[in-house]
Structure 1
């Protein structure tokens, strides 16, 4: 370390610059004393211009110095002369949000420092030049008081105070809200006259809410202007003349939801079917119909449901749709389809698939994402229902079984990581459904196809494998719930047929990951990942020719798996870094039970095989891959006992 004195500050800064390039755990010595000496010299004699510039770089550029050290430096950063424009701009440029920006507490100290040295600025006008930058940062509450103090010096306006700035921002938001209300939004409790303006530029002739021939003692929707008026007069409100306006008018949507009317539903259906007939016969432009689909989409998104009337309408629409125009809008709209009998739903699904599928993987993925959204919305519907007994819940396992074939097809037509992740989205939605005891009372568990499970498990993506393991762990908990007294039903015959196959998944994955018996078929339920014996022998011979010490049985464990070997070795490296001073040897990797024993004898980490594997599971959780740990702790009995202890 450099000695203290009149010329020692430069040496101390050089030491800090070197330390800033090295992570704290990798430094040979602590920098605490260096920081204290630097702060003391800065307090005693101040910083010369070149020293000040170097310290400002340390403060404003992301490095490995801790916040406490940086805070000590800025609190004692007394300049011994005028402060240049460059120093000021460096501090201003470090303000705001971003990964490379200093922390907000440190930014607050920068602003306090600028206030402190305001009268020492070489050019005070420099702050006026960056006034807009400072003002735009006022919405950041953590630095607002210091910003206001600095702006008050710049503008000489006494009213620049934090509470006044906050009040001004609230006022701006209020004016914006009122301006939106003036354009017809009004939180859905006034007739949306703006819909007519919205569609003037298109060929769609969607009418607005208008009530003709109203009775003297009735109230029209056009007269309603608030939630209170709507609630008070709901029984007196007259049905508007053009009910199809419900597709774009939030108030009419609420009215028909609270006062359902069979005649109104029939009128809406007739209007839509007439529009569809005109397009099918060539009497109207198809663009009109696509515009109508967009209106229906907005209606479904607003109401969170697609009424049976519109579902019937879509079944007809799909027969004349080309499957590509506004596909995302059509699919999102249909994802709000109600939970109905599968035979009735299939009429729409069959038409949808005939329209969308065009012999490309992209069209198959679009359908899969649609089914994922549909299943998620049904789960919400069933969870919110007062009694699931009244719902056609048998449709759910039939849909999952139906989508199983699409997902399996995708593993063949598009075996990419993105496709696997989209497939896992669907099965995560299913696993989420099975996590509800209320829903498990009625809904059969339907597992993924075996081939799909193995293909995803042997994919080149750790994220995909982790998510797959997490899904299987959720399924296992669901099986246990059904087989316990937690739900008032027994396993169905179909579920009993599936459970042995599912146990085969678990045994095969545990054999690969944990037991060092990849592709074994000797254990109960083990299926050897359904890899033929002849293929296994060929793979074993190839590995032995490459390295006699390699074995196919252990090639997919935590230490040797192509997806997990880096994470496992990184875990060991982390342990060694934490105990670096006491170690005489380090592990070269990959880790085995025998290598851990040899390592301890050579003065390396003293770590048992069980501690190592448990530690890798925890490390994977920390790194954002919790699924493997979840599956192991829910499947391996020795790990279950260890966690309970």
Structure 2
């Protein structure tokens, strides 16, 4: 005969049919999966699951645990009920139920209302490690909960004893590694490597769903990120294989060696209040470069700045980045990912400190010299945006322009006899416009520099030598300001080089416009564009050859129709005329071959050479040469030479002296010289 208690249990269990229980769990699942469980509902369900005897079968219990989605943070009462049900005995739930509840406790660890009660129950949890059904999740929970105060000699001894008796169980090794993090000089010997992600979240999809439920329920949930930002970062179980270690970024973790029970270390900080209360007593860990990955250490270094600490981080980075530079020259599988990880951590750290370390600046200076413009672009540009304000050297600008010149030269060789796509042609025009603005900005920023003008002229000399005639390239003119800056720079070499560049452009225009009439020829340039270029030619001819300086074009002047007048406004030209008149000079001849400040001496030397070649002449010329002075010289028994012949002689002399640009310009621009060359 069954006892009265057995009869009562049987009647209670049979009072509800299995279908009723299934329906109730289904409704619970539908509600909890959308709205979550209020505090009282969650506590009641935990009470049912931990109560003995429980009249639910194991399948029903498992289905209930799966939908235990709390609307808010989990209270300490729920935590205490769950921990209280662990262990062996008739008053305890089944071992399968205990394992399910322990796993659930691990999953909701980040949203516990408080960790005080759980910390106080640390000893209870630790003493359950001999239960094989709970050991795996217990090690995970203890690894999250462990602080320095929990690491006692008898617990270290117990873990080592477990290790000797059970072998290399992954969860035990992971927990032992956590203990060693607090007292690395106490636990000696090697700990077997643990698999990657050993103590990761048991069910990330479940956690993601929980966060969505709490967000939709407007719960005051701060999330794991806030909690973790006031706890040190631990990479438990992330050892990996030997090959992975070779290409893995080995950033050290936060460890405070030789700590005592009286020490106050970052490893013991639980939350923001704990951090604030212990701030003045906190000791710096041994590896300060862990700040690259640990936000809590970054906060400590910001609130307690130290030049020595910054120097230590900088020294570590200098050595590490030096290795990255070497590996970038001979990359290996995984090295690019390692570099990206390091740069991302440095960028994160620098955003926090708002100051770029000298080691990082040195790395960027060397890395950018061979950078392809694509690798790790986000991190490189992010770090460059954090450079401090400083003066920029003209040599840096000239080096940049020289780089653009080399790049253009490479394209000139590559596309000389090959087809260029339309999109590539558009890219080239944008490239030329971009470099032109850099050239102009550099010349304006460093007006006294000797490096930048040379770099700019080299760039346009390369550009003017591109194979324009094959239709693959489009002519891109230099900015007006640059043309006139070099024209009036007071340097005869700059004048010759800009004149030579423009003469090459003129030849390119002639060739491309000649081909544009055929179907296979390149697209014709707009008339306004060609006229604008011709204005440069007319201005230089007016200055140097025709004695019509600053004459602007217009309908009333067919000869100077395209001239820009060197872009000077009328009121400025009027003031210049008055200044020249006051010195009994003519503004229109001041920049000619024989009167220009940079050409007059060379013209005089040319004339002197011709006079020396005829020793029997009775008179020698003095002063700047004009058409009238040459006629007067001949009548007085001096050198007999016409004004046109004299100017041609000067051009030839300039060419022999290395100023070939001026000679080429005039022979390709002035109709009289072109016809004379054709006749010969």
Alignment TM-score, normalising by the size of structure 2: 0.46
TM-score calculated relative to the size of structure 1: 0.48
The structure number with the bigger radius of gyration is 2
